[in-house]
Amino acid sequence: MMFQMKGCKAVRGLAAVAGANLAVAFLSAGAAFAQAADFVIGAPRPNQMGLPYPVTPIAREMNFFHDAILLPIITVICLFVLALLVIVVSKFNEKANPKPSRTTHHTGLEIAWTIIPVLILVVIAVPSFRLLNNQLTMPNADMTIKVTGNSSWAWTWTYPKDEGGGFEFQARLLDQDTLAPGKLKLLDVDNEAVVPVNKTVRLQVTADVVGVIHGFVIPSFGVRMDAVPGRLNETWFKAEREGVYYGQCSKICGKDHAYMPVVIRVVSEEAYKVWLEKARKEFAQVESPVRVADASLAR
């Protein structure tokens, strides 16, 4: 765990500052939940550098993989190639080197430039496959939620009945012309999905059968999953910090592709129970059976 923490220290610092500013704005907007001082706003920040602030074990591992392994290797390779180019341009131009060498083969050099890249790829492959394995191995989940990408460019969240839910609701982008202060442009939605902190959530991702493929993404969770009509994909996350986390559909799914953000609010276990109770009542009518016209009235 230690090595993962180290890689994202700088990101954490930046996020804390931006998060605090946004949290103040959010509080003034009168959010429905009481927010702690270290409440995280998992959204892009002005002048942001690096990957989004990670709040799950997988996202931290991703950040470590990128910041501590890929980025240094890429930087060294780029500088090495740049140095070679500078040497070639300065030492072997027509003026400095009027009589070019006729050498075409060098066995040692050819073995070296085959073996060294292979070794670099092996070094990258080990943590890469470990991360992939951790992502795809489903742990024992504390709860399950289903999320469906709609052809009307909204996300439908379904909370199963046997886990205290038994309702579903749609999350739609807020009207951008009447956006309340503190609400994030093109990110905040009318109905946020809510999950408890420090719980492993199994997420079933799909799209409605008459629809298209959407991409379900929450960068701070390290979650990216295709929502495909007729297919139930599965992923998981365990958010370790309370906050509100944003993502956007990552598939070019149609005209309103840019207007279907993903929002998950992570709250304490108690706050989650309160929300669940409230949501069960609020969204109950969505589930009520469709009323069919009474044929006797037509007579």
Nearer of residues 214 and 241 to Cu ion, judged by Cβ: 214
Beta carbon of residue 248, minimum distance to Cu ion (angstroms, whole number): 9
Beta carbon of residue 56, minimum distance to Cu ion (angstroms, whole number): 22
Beta carbon of residue 255, minimum distance to Cu ion (angstroms, whole number): 10
Pairs from 160-169 (Cβ < 8 Å, separation ≥ 24): 164/273, 164/276, 164/280, 165/276, 165/279, 165/280, 166/280, 166/287, 167/279, 167/280, 167/283, 167/284, 167/286, 167/287, 168/283, 168/286, 168/287, 169/279, 169/282, 169/283, 169/286
DSSP one-letter code for 142: S
Beta carbon of residue 253, minimum distance to Cu ion (angstroms, whole number): 3
Beta carbon of residue 246, minimum distance to Cu ion (angstroms, whole number): 15
Binding site for Cu ion (CB under 5 A): 214, 249, 253
Amino acid at 20: A
Q: Which residues pair with 216 in a beta bridge?
A: 225
- Tokens 């986390």 belong to 245
Nearer of residues 18 and 207 to Cu ion, judged by Cβ: 207
Nearer of residues 208 and 240 to Cu ion, judged by Cβ: 208
Nearer of residues 190 and 287 to Cu ion, judged by Cβ: 190
Decide the pairing of beta strands 200-207 and 143-149. parallel
Nearer of residues 249 and 267 to Cu ion, judged by Cβ: 249
